[in-house]
Homo-oligomer: A and B are copies of this chain.
Amino acid sequence: MKCTARAYAIQGLVKYHGLKNAKLRIPFHDSISVCMRSLDTVTTVEARNGLPRDGIRINGTVPTAGEEARARMVIDKLRELAGEKTRVRVESRNANVKGKGLGFSASGFAALGLAASKALGLSLEPRELSEVVRLGAGSAARSLVGGFSIWYANRKGRSYAEQLASATSIGLRTLIVPIPSSIKTDKAHADVLTSPFFRARLAYLRGVLQRMRRAIGRKDVSEICRLAEVDTLNLHAITMTGRLETILVSPLSVRIMDEVRRLREEEGVPVWYSLDTGPSVFVNTTPRAASKVARRIRTLAGNVLSSDPAGPAEIISRHLF
């Protein structure tokens, strides 16, 4: 059977960093994100007897050994659940946006998991499927359930995602500035424990997770964006002080962060920045202020995407092959 799914990359709001169990991708703490409609991945999976081997292509090319191994973790787990050994052909395409820290590993593994599960004849609950796609990329769990969502590190022994608010229920508009970088997210995750501040981050997270949940609960877009900005700096402080001395920002990121702050402090525009594990910048604002903010950000960066929040991963009818 052939199935195609679309999923949306995530913007971290309370960002995930560091894995307690790297193989099972179990994090140290809960994390919260929102899916981005302009950053989608479409993945077609065909499960067919008689295929000589699994065949995986990402954006038209053969994946690296590491990427392939991660994809296989998810596919193998689904085959195990289906009780089948059928080989698969996989084609996956991201939105044509080049940048680091845009959360495409989340949408990639969410789309793969949903398409492959259907192609193998499975019908898993989102919660259960989120545990499977987590094996490929932690944030895929949140991409799968969509909207504003939380990924629990450990909820009665399970690590899965759950939607907190739908994509359409909160008036958030994001201007995305994709910026390339050679940073390896997996290396950064492994380095996290070498920061002298990591334990203090875990303590800070307890409070901020609660505040973010409450802000999402009352649909307070300003507070959501403000907390995401604060958490950005907290996360970057951790990566900078690890043994690898990872500086996530690029000169362009700093220019945009400065401009966002100027807009907010000097012109009273409701706008905040947020960066994940890379230099790309999410500029968060309200639908009303978005066009003003976009004009200003476009004076600094050639490539700016506007995005609404997006819903969960979904099955679509148009296959890639």
Contact = CB atoms under 8 A, between A and B. Distances in A.
A26 B229 CA distance: 32
A240 B236 contact: yes
Interface residues of A, number: 28
B234 A196 contact: yes
Contact of A254 (B230, B234, B249): B249
Interface string A195-223: 01101110110000000000000000000
A245 interface: yes
Interface in A182-204: 196-197, 199-201, 203-204
A261 B229 CA distance: 27
Interface in A233-256: 233-234, 236-238, 240-241, 245, 247, 249-255
Contact of A251 (B230, B234, B255): B255
Contacts of A74: none
A257 interface: yes
Contacts of A254: 247, 249-251, 253-254
Given A237-B237, A251-B254, A230 B201 contact: no
A73 to B, nearest CB: 31
Nearest to A238: B237
A256 to B, nearest CB: 10
A225 to B, nearest CB: 13
A192 B173 CA distance: 33
B204 A200 contact: no
Contacts of A204: 196
22 contacts: A196-B203, A196-B234, A197-B197, A197-B201, A199-B200, A200-B200, A229-B245, A230-B245, A233-B241, A233-B245, A233-B247, A234-B241, A236-B240, A237-B238, A237-B241, A247-B254, A247-B258, A251-B251, A251-B254, A251-B255, A253-B254, A254-B254
